[in-house]
Chains A and B, each alone.
Chain A
Amino acid sequence: GENVEQHPSTLSVQEGDSAVIKCTYSDSASNYFPWYKQELGKGPQLIIDIRSNVGEKKDQRIAVTLNKTAKHFSLHITETQPEDSAVYFCAASREDKLSFGAGTTVTVRA
């Protein structure tokens, strides 16, 4: 099955700085890579996704990059704000199931 590794497990950034979370996957047939944000006491919510035929995607302060050759994808958050504090999960999908990374707890310091 698919194995997704996510680093770092915790990340503390100063407000206004950038945050980067990296993930690797094992199954070269995976073709969809979403990122979910989970706020305290809530379920995960999709914030951005990328498909295997695209190398980069951006949505306001959030961007995701994909390197299919290296089986590596990353989430970039620029100009971080206090409301960006949450747990972020990467995932990889092949056919009908998602495999999730272990999560990154992001704390934005005021």
Chain B
Amino acid sequence: DAKTTQPNSMESNEEEPVHLPCNHSTISGTDYIHWYRQLPSQGPEYVIHGLTSNVNNRMASLAIAEDRKSSTLILHRATLRDAAVYYCIPGWGNTPLVFGKGTRLSVIA
């Protein structure tokens, strides 16, 4: 499994963009990069995933470095509901996920 490095915590002001980085320098060529988040007292929820190209969906954008050794999850306008632990997980989505410690995002009103 590819090892990931994420900041332990980050803070953002409400309605500001947030860039959550992840380093996955040992990622294999076929691994996707998944992002999940876990809101307080809930199970994790899928946010986005990508392979090589940048991806956008209604929740977020994913920017993937050209060498695929790092990626950044972008929340365009943070809301209080986005306060959660964000996990970056290389691998296949339909095999067991290996969760690291993630980044705890705090959003300040």
Do chains A and B stick together as partners? no
